[in-house]
Structure 1
């Protein structure tokens, strides 16, 4: 076995998308989107997202159309969007499918069942949301998924938010 100093699947710099490299220079929040339907849970780490204020508020994210999350969210029509903090980097990697999670990432921590799907225990800032349209537009490689915010839980602690920039995590 060989230990690599770099990511072993990263293409050479000359083959990388300049648009993706531009996007990678923007600091992005690290969210965990989770849902369940018919006894099946699905989740995905999402950093291509924003929250739009208003009555109601919305979460807009770019989701892989081939992901388990989209398949399950499309059926369930509800999701929990959790904002991850510094202590949740392993959880982000597991749900981003870049780190091993024996038995699956849902076995890493405890979960609370909500009206919108599973909420991770220990993550105290999250929103319960409903899917706006089952046929979202395609944007580049992804679906532009819009969720209407129905419920918000805000942290009372001061956990630094987890940020993704240039392929790495950091906190503010």
Structure 2
């Protein structure tokens, strides 16, 4: 058996979507969106997102409509959006469903229950948000989910943020 450094199911670059390849060349923040409803927790690693400043502020992200996160978020109407740093790379992979997480990704670390959902312990920056509409528009393969920011936690910026570009992680 040989272990390769590349993803085993990734098509050759020439066969990939040029739009996806363009997006892949942009550095993207690595965030973890979590929500809980009726005792069920769900989360998803999200890199296709932005934060819009204002009163109120918003987080806008592209979410897979078939994900457990969307089902739970739509019911709960609240979420935690946590910005991940280098120490949380394994967490990002587990919630991105590209790495194993025996017992599920919520068992990898401790969590703090907030009024917006579970917040990962040890993450220095996160926002508690509320869903603005249960029927967001479809954009390409995803739903364009808009969350209104209700609360922000900002600890000292000692951990560089995790960035995703061309299928690889780095720190900014």
Aligned to 1:72: 72
Aligned to 1:82: 82
Please give the TM-score of this superposition, normalised by the length of structure 1. 0.98
Give, in angstroms, the shift of residue 2 of structure 1: 3.0
Aligned to 1:9: 9
Please give the TM-score of this superposition, normalised by the length of structure 2. 0.98
Give, in angstroms, the shift of residue 171 of structure 1: 0.2
Aligned to 1:150: 150
Give, in angstroms, the shift of residue 143 of structure 1: 0.1
Runs of 5+ in structure 2 lacking a partner? none
Aligned to 2:92: 92
- C-alpha distance in structure 2 between counterparts of 1:55 and 1:165, whole Å: 31
Secondary structure at 1:109's aligned position in 2?
coil
CA RMSD between the two structures = 0.7
Query: Within the alignment, does 1:141 sit opposite 2:151 as a pair?
Result: no
Secondary structure at 1:69's aligned position in 2?
helix
Give, in angstroms, the shift of residue 13 of structure 1: 1.6
Runs of 5+ in structure 1 lacking a partner? none
For residues 76-127 of structure 1, the C-alpha deviation after alignment (integer angstroms, 9 at most, x for no partner) is: 0000000001111000000000000000000000000000000000002000
How many residues are treated as equivalent by the alignment?
A: 172
Secondary structure at 2:8's aligned position in 1?
coil
Aligned to 2:160: 160
- C-alpha distance in structure 1 between counterparts of 2:83 and 2:110, whole Å: 16
Secondary structure at 2:130's aligned position in 1?
strand
Aligned to 1:169: 169
Q: 13-22 or 1-10, which moves further after superposition?
A: 1-10
Runs of 4+ in structure 1 over 4 Å off:
none
- C-alpha distance in structure 1 between counterparts of 2:14 and 2:83, whole Å: 33
- C-alpha distance in structure 1 between counterparts of 2:5 and 2:87, whole Å: 24
Aligned to 1:60: 60
Give, in angstroms, the shift of residue 34 of structure 1: 0.2
- C-alpha distance in structure 1 between counterparts of 2:161 and 2:124, whole Å: 11
